[in-house]
Chains A and B, each alone.
Chain A
């Protein structure tokens, strides 16, 4: 899992049935400073996240299939939480 920031929305009319009715968001993966790391995902949202939100993302197929209750399911990245606070001790 990783912490990311929602930076955009993606609209697709033609898509596989596993994604039907799902909200797709662009998520930037964040580094320890909370800045963009340059990596990103297009993720399915199940946490009512919106643009600008700091979020928790799972990027693994089995977990994604369990959350979305689909099997088979061609989804890996899912937004599973909206993060309120990050506290680091260095």
Chain B
């Protein structure tokens, strides 16, 4: 899953039958600093509660469709949660991980 910002809504009155009732939102994927990363996408809203302006997380590929009530649908991106809080301290990002890291010449 990755972060995304909801930018707006997309309405399609004619669509594949099993997509009836699915809400489509325009989202901007974000990097780990919550800055825009890549092209704008359309995501199905599996929470049914996301709105423009909100920070959400999205799941891509086949798992996008699995988030919806009807899972055999042509969807490859879904909103699976609305973010309340992100805690990512700067000092942790700049510190090495906990594993010992060896490099030897073979």
Interfacial residues, chain A to chain B (CB-CB below 8 A):
3, 5, 7-16, 18-19, 24, 26, 28, 30, 33-34, 36, 38, 40-43, 51-54, 61, 64, 72-77, 82-90
Contact = CB atoms under 8 A, between A and B. Distances in A.
A16 B46 contact: yes
Interface in B67-106: 67, 71, 78, 80-89, 92-93, 95-106
Contacts of A3: 99
Interface centre among A16, A24, A76, A83 (most CB of B within 10 A): A16
Contacts of B82: 12-15
Interface residues of B, number: 43
Given A19-B80, A41-B2, A72-B66, A83 B92 contact: no
B30 to A, nearest CB: 10
Contacts of A53: 97-98
A61 B31 CA distance: 21
Nearest to A61: B63
Nearest to A29: B32
Contacts of A84: 99-100
B105 A89 contact: yes
Contact of B57 (A42, A87, A89): A42
Q: Which 6 A-B pairs have the closest CB atoms?
A: A8-B88, A54-B97, A74-B67, A15-B81, A54-B99, A12-B81
